[in-house]
Structure 1
């Protein structure tokens, strides 16, 4: 029996040419509020750069600053607006072509991203591509400001991929990434592509 082939793509700066977290925050909340949020999280961001603060915790605090108490419906609408009006202009054509090439070959592409799934999924759905990303916690239709999963970076990318495709011996894995957060996934792949298409 021939093995199936999975093609795992990082999203930010792999399928896109900009970091979508910052692009989304500016799009949805405006530059002024983003600057205020950065000031609020400045000690954590500096600590993260110095290796004294966990990347996932810092990102959770930053995203929580904007989303805590926000209606899930309003947030979803903002994500869909971003996907429709901003995201297409920052998608890397060469990377998208590689994803479509895998589909043409009968492979199964999947996006594995540290960014929240919320604004990636509407874009990916038009290509029938599954998304594995950081999940945001909601309760009674309102965002809590917390993550519902670990930050999907580093070893967590491999763990989440295995959760979705558990029988590793039964598939060939291509992986595409651009940063240190992708290195575990790339090391796990049969065919790793670091900043290459």
Structure 2
């Protein structure tokens, strides 16, 4: 069995889904007040001073802290049904299907969020490792369970889940520098669809 690792945003999709989900699921009041609150951080992010791996958790905190988990899960279901199909790269979906037909173990490894990625991956019949939103007493805390799943954390999360020595061939697909650590543990790697 081969192990096949796919990044999600920009690799399986042709657009960023993290931001779209935040905008489509957070209340207008949170978007406005939260936008003001994190404006300094957003400026630093745009200037390249603050990395995306630190910006995403801030945004998630503002958008989801104290929100009912069932409400966000319902939003995620709608997001998966109505929005995600519009941004999928069909050749990549075909590639995933091919790997599954060969009996490969396919895992989506992404910094995007658990509410919608869990649903989408379950529907496709693949595993997922992603930025998991923490829940306490039925409400989201706004924090991540194990941090932002990007960069070296992708590798850490993969190794916590799997014994890589069980796989003779590891194939990885990514599209940004945040995917480099994951690509580097692979025996066969693709960057933006091309051998890397």
- For normalisation by structure 1, the TM-score amounts to 0.90
C-alpha distance in structure 2 between counterparts of 1:141 and 1:181, whole Å:
32
Q: Which moved more, 1:165-174 or 1:46-55?
A: 46-55
The answer on whether the counterparts of 1:68 and 1:145 sit within 8 Å (CA) in structure 2 is: yes
1:46 matches 2:40: no
The answer on whether the counterparts of 1:162 and 1:168 sit within 8 Å (CA) in structure 2 is: no
Aligned residue in 2 for 1:63: 60
Three-state SS of the structure 1 residue aligned to 2:163 is coil
C-alpha distance in structure 2 between counterparts of 1:91 and 1:33, whole Å:
28
Deviation (angstroms), 1:51 = 4.8
1:27 matches 2:24: yes
User: Alignment partner for residue 173 of structure 2, among 165, 173, 176?
Assistant: 176
What stretches of structure 2 of length at least 5 have no aligned partner? none
How large is the RMSD of aligned CA atoms in angstroms?
Answer: 1.9
Deviation (angstroms), 1:127 = 1.8
Moved over 6 A (4+): none
- For normalisation by structure 2, the TM-score amounts to 0.91
Three-state SS of the structure 1 residue aligned to 2:38 is helix
Three-state SS of the structure 2 residue aligned to 1:171 is coil
Deviation (angstroms), 1:147 = 1.3
Deviation (angstroms), 1:48 = 3.1
C-alpha distance in structure 2 between counterparts of 1:12 and 1:112, whole Å:
10
Three-state SS of the structure 2 residue aligned to 1:91 is coil
Aligned residue in 2 for 1:5: 2
1:187 matches 2:184: yes
Q: 1:1-197 to 2 correspondence within 5 Å?
A: 4-29=1-26, 34=31, 36-168=33-165, 170-196=167-193
Three-state SS of the structure 1 residue aligned to 2:71 is helix
Describe the superposition over 1:23-73 as per-residue Cα deviations: whole angstroms up to 9, x where unpaired: 112222377854654333221122234454353332111111110110011
Deviation (angstroms), 1:169 = 5.1
C-alpha distance in structure 2 between counterparts of 1:75 and 1:30, whole Å:
11
